[in-house]
Chain A
């Protein structure tokens, strides 16, 4: 793993998106995550950098994985952690989001980790908070910055500097916040990103995302250094976006045959949870090229790094 990364002045506080981050900043964060990952291997998995800070994990959408990942990261950094889960929208609960924001601040929250089904909700929350910072744990179809960061971290550990690497992202890009953030992140690192999936699950103006699109997954995957499968929600089929799961799997699902078209040893990634037999065949998910479980571990490390840098530890 390269370790030529020097110190930089960290300028980000709230993190809504990684749009506008520099390559240098991304690598600096990835390098920090490497140090954090070492903490995870210690017999006593705890460092005191967020001691006395209060983290609120404010989740308006069910997400056990992301919530637990953040919670572990916060606890390993010695923060005090409160989980605040709200089902449905803020309005369904009868409280406006600005009241929620002011309530959190009145209670003394320092860091709010927010997951919300509505695009722009974390940005909105951040605009109402005077002191606390907001880390976006996923807002609707818009952005999922920590997922993209952990994906970059995982890829970097295996492939080294990512400039010029070819990344194929296959699946439901239209509804995927993971895809949007990954495209931004990997492109900032100089990767060649190609999207694939049914045209009904692609934004019409896909070129606005700044990357190529191939209908044919085989073309997208050709000579790729990494194949990234996006989760297919079965209700999309009921929405009429594709005719059947079987048809989807045959054309856009990753099986051994498709994987053979990528570079030998190409990485296979997925944000989880996986749908076996839909976007990914079991032999690929469990095969030697899959780093899906490693991504889960990376998630804790990258969230520790982000909490440390943005949450006050670095200052």
Chain B
């Protein structure tokens, strides 16, 4: 089976290339060239749209097993596909928590059955995510885990984090740390800053994140292990990571679409609407600007959704009573592209695309690293982007079970319009069909 993508602006994972056509054969990239023709191939005419490696989201929550009324692996995989993401890393803070090989298999097989985006599981660092004993990291790696994390919480003790870093070394998947010093965030609701001053809501200081990042860096140095800090949200933590990278430590990080595009003022101006309640909290304007700097100077390795879906019955509550989490898989890419056009038009699209393709791919186990690049022989995971498409975010039309997000009702320009894995179309925008 052959598919010829012709007339596209092709981004290969690092840069836009001069060629405008890409031939897919048997699920792999067969050829990239200009004005390619191929007898018997299905031809897809790009009309100047962008073709990129399928986007990779290193951090999403699917609530399955245990909380499937909020999301399950099927709705999550479909939501990812409709958001332009062909690979999604599922966080293990489910019920039960994903902490043994059988549960890794469960996530893989249920994810696959959806026939949409690839779902790759992360396993817990600790058994039952309790932060006491190390989980079976090697067995989970063998079964297909691509990260280890107690996300939702930091690894409970420095001792456990140290052991996990030592044990995982450089041959097992990376340890992904949720950076938070929890004693500083007890009953916390919002960023400690303008929003906590104005509302009196209990603040979560940026220092909480900085302290945990400092702990992780010190342990990565001592163990020569690899640590990845996820959803980094503040300038101070980024500064520490920048320093650690300069020192040559195996330290990487990601930030989220919402921390790049929103700040604490959104909470205030919304009248404390729970749509803006998330952990880590939306930070200050200065923190937000620092994240964009971190993207540009290479401190930030990846942009993730931290898609945290909740059923409306739970999320549509007064701010203080609602759970933390923003659902964004189906609009995150558009949110970022639209924001960049308005606020950072000088930042090249290549930079943002790289942080959603080749750069996150390089943090996955070796067998998946080719996902982020389009070259001959690579797996044909593809996302098509229409830079000029304007649409209004309408959660009621989502594949995700979540029905509320910060951008509901907002018109955004620049949307994914089709996604493919292994050269097979898994989603297409209705207007495209």
Contacts and interface: CB of A to CB of B under 8 A. Distances in A.
Nearest to A206: B197
A204 B192 contact: yes
Interface string A102-120: 0000000000000011111
Contact of B197 (A119, A124, A205): A205
Contact of A121 (B196, B200, B318): B318
B185 to A, nearest CB: 14
Nearest to A184: B198
Given A16-B271, A204-B205, A120 B200 contact: no
Contact of A120 (B194, B203, B205, B319): B319
A96 B199 contact: no
Contacts of B198: 180, 208-209
Given A16-B271, A120-B273, A203 B197 contact: yes
Interface string B185-213: 00001001110111111010100000000
A203 B196 contact: yes
B42 interface: no
Contact of A118 (B194, B205, B316, B318): B318
B197 A209 contact: yes
B319 A98 contact: no
A204 B313 contact: no
A96 B274 CA distance: 14
- Which of A116, A175, A204, A209 counts the most B-chain CB atoms under 10 A from its CB? A204
Contacts of B318: 90, 97, 116, 118-121, 124
B200 A174 contact: yes
A195 to B, nearest CB: 11
A91 B197 contact: no
Contacts of A116: 318
Interface in B271-322: 271-273, 313, 316-321
Interface in A1-49: 16
Nearest to A124: B318
Contacts of A174: 200
Given A123-B271, A123-B272, A205-B194, A118 B319 contact: yes
A177 B200 contact: yes
Contacts of A209: 197-198
A289 interface: no
Contacts of B205: 204
A142 interface: yes
Contacts of A140: 199-201, 320
Main secondary structure of the interface of A (DSSP, over half): loop
Interface string B214-248: 00000000000000000000000000000000000
A275 interface: no
Interface in A169-202: 174-177, 180
A209 B268 CA distance: 13
Nearest to B196: A203
A147 B201 CA distance: 19
Contact of B316 (A16, A89, A96, A205): A96
Contact of B320 (A96, A119, A203, A206): A119
A314 to B, nearest CB: 25
Nearest to B203: A204
Interface in A225-276: none
B197 A141 contact: no
A205 B201 contact: no
Given A119-B272, A123-B272, A208 B319 contact: no
Given A97-B318, A120-B271, A204 B193 contact: yes
- Which of B194, B198, B313 counts the most A-chain CB atoms under 10 A from its CB? B198
A89 B319 CA distance: 12
A205 B193 contact: yes
A180 B197 CA distance: 9
Interface in A104-161: 116-121, 123-124, 127, 140-142
A205 B284 CA distance: 11
A174 B196 CA distance: 9
Interface in B316-354: 316-321
A89 B321 contact: yes
A119 B200 contact: yes
Contacts of A205: 192-194, 196-197
B321 A90 contact: yes
A278 to B, nearest CB: 20
A90 B321 CA distance: 9
B321 A118 contact: yes
Contact of A175 (B192, B197, B200, B271): B200
11 contacts: A119-B319, A120-B272, A120-B319, A120-B320, A140-B199, A140-B320, A141-B201, A204-B193, A204-B205, A205-B192, A205-B197
Top 7 closest A-B pairs, CB basis? A141-B200, A120-B272, A203-B197, A118-B320, A121-B318, A208-B197, A123-B271
Interface of B: 189, 192-194, 196-201, 203, 205, 271-273, 313, 316-321
Interface of A: 16, 89-91, 96-98, 116-121, 123-124, 127, 140-142, 174-177, 180, 203-206, 208-209
